[in-house]
Structure 1
Amino acid sequence: MSVSSSVRRLTAVTAVAAAAVGAVALPAAAADHHSSYPRHAAVYISGVQADSPGWDDRSNRSLNREWVDITNSTRRAVNLSGWTLSDEDGHTYTFRHVWLDGRSTVRVHTGIGRDVESDVYQDRQAYVWDNNSDTATLRNDHGRFIDAVSWGRLDRDHRDGHHHWHAS
């Protein structure tokens, strides 16, 4: 056996071993990384800012700094017309003529504004989301539960006080 064939064989063995280690190590690392995150539905509540920054003075600027983000994780656009977003007190916003493009987010502001592709407005003159404790619930145009996010309830399972539920 020549030196060059020994080097080639050693290189091939090393490459196979590295690939095998990578194949075993990568899924374990990926599984650990994602196990702490909720698995998202196609359309879900991706963020909430219940307590608008600054003084709660009921100005339109302050009202619009209170918002909920709705994200579409699929590649296809979703027609949100007739879908609702509500709080625990029954305040309900109904989406009208809103198409959420694939892999995009629409922000639902509490105050008054002009709807555009990335931002829609509830046109309210009072706050909706309770700063201390509330639940944002998203339902489709048939009233079927899609997703919900709660905040302000501390327990041993959710140390940050945020709970997230998805439709199955």
Structure 2
Amino acid sequence: MSSVSSSVRRIAATVQADSPGRDDHSNRSLNAEWVEVTNTTRDGINLRGWTLKDADGNRYRFGNIRIHSHATIRIHTGAGRDTRTDLYQGSREYIWGNRADTATLRDDRNRVVDTETWGRRR
């Protein structure tokens, strides 16, 4: 995990790209694939207009979501009901590559805030 830019905002991303068990495309399996976004600042941050993107161009755009100071929000791949701590992309396909991928979090001005890369893409 590497924070790339942002002098005022500090956000960290963690990824579980390979959902436990068999990849059977069930909603349960899809939701076991996720990215966590943690606000490491003393202030809350509104994520409206921020995006989370993989190396293949799949993109999730945050709505009017506020992440409190030192709080974490988990963004699941599958469908579900959004809460303050869990958001759902509503995808019926896996997004994050099990062997290799990059998760990029950008703010509402399209500036890279954090990236997480794993494995080696071919």
For residue 132 of structure 1, give the secondary structure of its aligned residue in structure 2: coil
- Whether the aligned pair in 1 keeps the contact of 2:18 and 2:96 (CA below 8 Å) is yes
Give TM-score scaled by structure 2 length.
0.90
- Whether the aligned pair in 1 keeps the contact of 2:77 and 2:91 (CA below 8 Å) is yes
Identity %: 51
- Whether the aligned pair in 1 keeps the contact of 2:10 and 2:113 (CA below 8 Å) is no
CA distance in 1, matches of 2:89, 2:2: 28
CA distance in 1, matches of 2:56, 2:31: 19
Choose 1 or 2 for highest CA Rg: 1
Give TM-score scaled by structure 1 length.
0.66
RMSD of aligned Cα (Å): 1.6
Task: Report the residue type matching 1:138 in the other structure.
Answer: L
Query: Within the alignment, does 1:43 sit opposite 2:21 as a pair?
Result: no
Q: Could you list the runs of 5+ residues in structure 2 that have no partner in the other structure?
A: none
- Whether the aligned pair in 1 keeps the contact of 2:18 and 2:97 (CA below 8 Å) is yes
Deviation (angstroms), 1:39: 7.0
CA distance in 2, matches of 1:96, 1:78: 12
Aligned to 2:54: 87
Structure 1 residue ranges, 4+ long, deviating more than 3 angstroms after superposition = 37-41
CA distance in 1, matches of 2:96, 2:2: 23
For this pair of structures, how many residues does the alignment match?
116
Q: 1:68 aligns with which of 35, 54, 59?
A: 35
CA distance in 2, matches of 1:38, 1:145: 11
More helix by share: 1
Query: Within the alignment, does 1:145 sit opposite 2:119 as a pair?
Result: no
